[in-house]
Amino acid sequence: MDKYKVSLKNRTNALSLVAAATLLIYVGLMYFQGGLPKLPSFIKGFHIGAFIGVELFVVSYLAKYMKAAKNETELKKLYIKESDERSGLILQKTATLGMSITFVGLAIAAIVAGFFSSLVFYTLLAALLTILIMFFALLVYFSKKN
Amino acid sequence: MKTRIAELRKQHKLSQEELGLAVGVTRQTITSLEVGKYTASLVLAYKIAKYFGLAIEDVFDFSEVEEEL
């Protein structure tokens, strides 16, 4: 459990850093807004939503980790929740199926888009290739690790 | 896979939550094991059997596995 306590402390520090960096980036972008291209209101709204989402996510996890760090029972419960083997299996199966659906979906979308717009086609193809490269890199990594 | 976990748990007057905490899994995992929806890993099977002071084959029913062999 001591190792897990150290891991939680590291995570707390990393999350605090993420929260601070996100805030700095957002404030910086707002400050230099004049030098940036004019954006449609939907994209602006998306940026604000993403910023608020990241901050809320970080705050909720920080609160969870701090609460667990103060109480041994809570700490053990959190550890069990994170390391539960059935949850791990569920996540693994979900990720595997989700990945397959994403591959096939992107490939079909790229083929269909190719008939209408070359820009959309290349964008989807780039996304598909990026995911494929990442998938095979991780496959090699975990094959060597296990 | 069929198990005797529910029976042993009741004998020892334990809740699913308590057994889960003792062997390091969630209450939901204990439920799934008891109803046979999930098959425990070797490590978890060992922990559960050890907790009740029994051998793995006394807690988990391997007859279906033996039929496959």
Look up the ipTM and state it: 0.88
Flag whether residue B46 sits within 8 Å of chain A, measured between CB atoms: no
Q: Are residues A72 and A121 in the same domain?
A: no
pLDDT at A31: 83
**Mean pLDDT of all residues belonging to chain B:** 93
**What is the rounded distance in angstroms from the CA atom of residue B54 to the CA atom of residue A141?**
39
Q: Letter for the amino acid at A106?
A: L
Q: Are residues A21 and A79 in the same domain?
A: yes
In terms of C-beta density within 10 A (0-12 exposed, 13-18 middle, 19 or more buried), how is residue A38 classed?
A: exposed
Residue A36 structural domain = 2-83
Flag whether residue B15 sits within 8 Å of chain A, measured between CB atoms: no
Instruction: For A74, name the nearest residue in chain B, comparing CA atoms only.
Output: B21
Each residue's pLDDT expressed in tens, for chain B with a length of 69 residues:
899 999 999 999 999 999 999 999 999 999 999 999 999 999 999 999 999 999 999 999 988 887 877
Superfamily of domain B5-58: lambda repressor-like DNA-binding domains (1.10.260.40)
Q: Are residues A96 and A76 in the same domain?
A: no
Cross-chain residue pair A86–B21, CB shorter than 8 Å: no
Q: Letter for the amino acid at A45?
A: G
**What is the rounded distance in angstroms from the CA atom of residue A82 to the CA atom of residue A70?**
18
pLDDT at A39: 80
Over residues A90-114, mean pLDDT:
95
Instruction: For A87, name the nearest residue in chain B, comparing CA atoms only.
Output: B29
Q: Are residues A111 and A56 in the same domain?
A: no
The string over B46-59, giving b where at least 16 C-beta atoms fall within 10 Å of a residue's C-beta and e elsewhere, is eebbebbeeeeeeb
How near does any CA of chain B get to the CA of A23, in Å? Answer: 36
